[in-house]
Amino acid sequence: MKVLVTVKRVIDYNVKVRVKSDNTDVDLANVKMAINPFCEIAVEEAVRLKEAGTATEIVAVSMGPKAAQEQLRTALALGADRAIHVETDEALESLTVAKMLAKIVDEEKPDLIVMGKQAIDSDNNQTGQMLAALSGMPQGTFASELKIEDGKALVTREVDGGLQTVALNMPAIVTTDLRLNEPRYASLPNIMKAKRKPLETKTPADLGVEVSARTKLLKVEPPAERSAGIKVDSVEQLVEKLKNEAKVI
């Protein structure tokens, strides 16, 4: 079974993002970048499938500027066998990424595609579902458990109020939620080995996809700050304030 995983280069989740003073976007100059945490979970899930003997090959894909190759090398160090980088400096919207992925899926013909449920920069939560639509595949989004049985992907999904399990024909697309697994760290020998693994570079034009903007970012502002209130000394005082001042109980 061939597994395709996608990784996105995003701001490291420990870094607090700042809005540019001209309100055009967030400021990513000299900010630490990393693999999107949900994509890391996707890579880990693929590696576990390979370790279990279910998967035979893992192909990692990323799109964006040349620097995204760092994240692909990380995916290779974690256990992916080879990587495909679609290089472009243009801003990519989810639909464009899905269209390019659909072309790669046509070429690679994976049996399973594992993606993060959302990227922690744009928080869109769209690309997996869009790729599923374009490729005519079923989708198991927000997965907390994945089993491959009798040619089907059994996906347990985190839904409002509990868990839902669906059976998907393959090829299928799975997007990861937090509890699917806990990703490993890449070992130093594996980081060294990853440098020699194949990494193919393509352009959007190679895939026959035009990078177009369907939305326009008009402005980006910092959120309204919530100011700290007061400290109370006792439970009595807290209850009194909630009753008489805030009037919420």
Partner 1 sequence: MAILVIAEHDNAVLKGSTLNAVTAASQMGDDIHMLVAGSGAQAVADAAAKVSGVTKVLLADDAAYEHQLAENVSLLVAELGKDYSHVVAPATTNGKNTLPRVAALLDVAQVSDIIRVESADTFVRPIYAGNAIATVQALDAIKVITVRTTGFDAAAAEGGSAAVETVAGSHDAAISAFVGEEVAVSDRPELTAADVIVSGGRGMGNGENFVLLENVADKLGAAVGASRAAVDAGFVPNDMQVGQTGKIVAPDLYIAVGISGAIQHLAGMKDSKVIVAINKDEEAPIFQVADYGLVADLFEVMPQLEAQL
Q: Which of residues 143-172 bind partner 1 (CB under 8 A)?
A: 144, 154, 157-169
Q: Which C-beta is closer to partner 1: that of 17 or that of 192?
A: 17
Smallest distance, partner 1 to C-beta of residue 122, A: 6
Q: Does 121 bind partner 1 (CB under 8 A)?
A: yes
Q: Which residues of 99-127 are buried (b: 16+ CB within 10 A; e: fewer)?
A: bbbbbbbeeeebbbbbbbbbbbbeeebbb
> Which residue in 81, 87, 122, 145 binds partner 1 (CB under 8 A)?
122
Q: Does 208 bind partner 1 (CB under 8 A)?
A: no
Q: Which residues of 13-38 are buried (b: 16+ CB within 10 A; e: fewer)?
A: eeeeeeeeeeeeeeeeeeeebbbbbb
Residue 125 and residue 177: Cα distance in Å, rounded?
Answer: 11
Q: Does 26 bind partner 1 (CB under 8 A)?
A: yes
Q: Does 11 bind partner 1 (CB under 8 A)?
A: yes
Tell me which residues in 97-116 interact with partner 1 (CB under 8 A).
98
Using CB under 8 A, which of the segments 54-62, 81-89, 92-100, 201-209 binds partner 1? 92-100
Number of residues that bind partner 1 (CB under 8 A): 77
Q: Does 35 bind partner 1 (CB under 8 A)?
A: no
Give the residue ranges of DSSP H helices in 109-186. 127-135
Residue 93 and residue 95: Cα distance in Å, rounded?
Answer: 6
